[in-house]
Homo-oligomer: A and B are copies of this chain.
Amino acid sequence: MLKKIVLTGARGALGTELRPALAKLTEALVSTDIVDAPDDLAPNETFVRADLAKMDEVAPLMDGAEMVVHFGAIPDEGPFETLLGPNYVGAYNVWEAAYRAGARRIVYASSIHALGLGETAAGLDTDAGHRPDTFYGLSKCFAEDMGRMYWEKRGLEAVCLRILSCTPEPQNVRALGTWLSYRDMVQLVERSLLTAVVGFTVAYGVSANTRAPVSNDRVRFLGYRPQDNAEDWAEAITAKERTPRADDMGYTRLGGPFAKVPLGESGVEAIRRMAAED
């Protein structure tokens, strides 16, 4: 039983899934987000509204924290100036405050967009280097490099989860490879918290999809064993989607639509636009 977990981004889609699961692993769960508290707090859960871009709001959260699950950020591409506070400075504030408070480990929602310009067909594993596709992805590169440094210089552990497409169900052909189900996401965070020693580790957030384009083979020590497979949706999804051009970067690159969205423009909107076109 962990002493205290701090969860950032607690009111986001993924944070909302994580809250009850984390509450079971710890004596005290401190959930935080930039919006109001949810109305379904667990008995051992406290909610603190905070702006991650402000150190004086972040630091108090960390008091006595053993683990930090850092999922709070703008979850979309946008102008660098817009992401700078929440995604860059926010990540720094979390790491620095966690370190000062003596926390043991950060489990971080990194993203496939840290290497979104990587080739889908390359079969990359967790050693693959950065090729960000957006300022959003670049913020993940920044935090991963920072996480390695805090581990190597200060002994603060980190697991960076390069999440692919975490949604209730897979939503398009790309997601037949990239989908991460909610329960697999929760399991992956749990394993990242409960594995005895992790140092600095990178893992992909992807379910047991038949078509998964990336590999966690080198981090089996985490004990992550996903339960879901997007293939169960394959027939329905492929029936709906037009065949892309052979050089469509939305398919040839791991980042999907983010690989072709102009820098600084919303990838979420690009995805909607693409979906509408089909």
CB distance from A136 to the nearest CB of B (A): 11
CB distance from A77 to the nearest CB of B (A): 11
Is there a chain B Cβ closer than 8 Å to A223's Cβ? yes
Mask for A94-137, Cβ within 8 A of B = 1, else 0?
00100000001100000000000101111100100111111001
Q: Find out whether the CB atom of B213 lies under 8 angstroms from the CB atom of A220.
A: yes
Q: Find out whether the CB atom of B225 lies under 8 angstroms from the CB atom of A220.
A: no
List chain A positions with a Cβ less than 8 A from chain B.
Answer: 80, 84, 88-89, 92, 96, 104-105, 117, 119-123, 126, 129-134, 137-138, 141-142, 145-146, 148-150, 152-155, 157, 173-174, 176-177, 194-199, 201, 210-213, 215, 217-223, 225, 231, 234, 238, 241, 243-244, 246-248, 251-252, 262-263
With a 10 A CB-CB cut-off, give which of A148, A153, A234 has the most chain B CB atoms.
A153
Q: Find out whether the CB atom of A211 lies under 8 angstroms from the CB atom of B198.
A: no
Contacts of A218 in B (CB 8 A): 122-123, 215
Cα distance, A133 to B212, chains bound together (Å): 31
Cα distance, A132 to B151, chains bound together (Å): 11
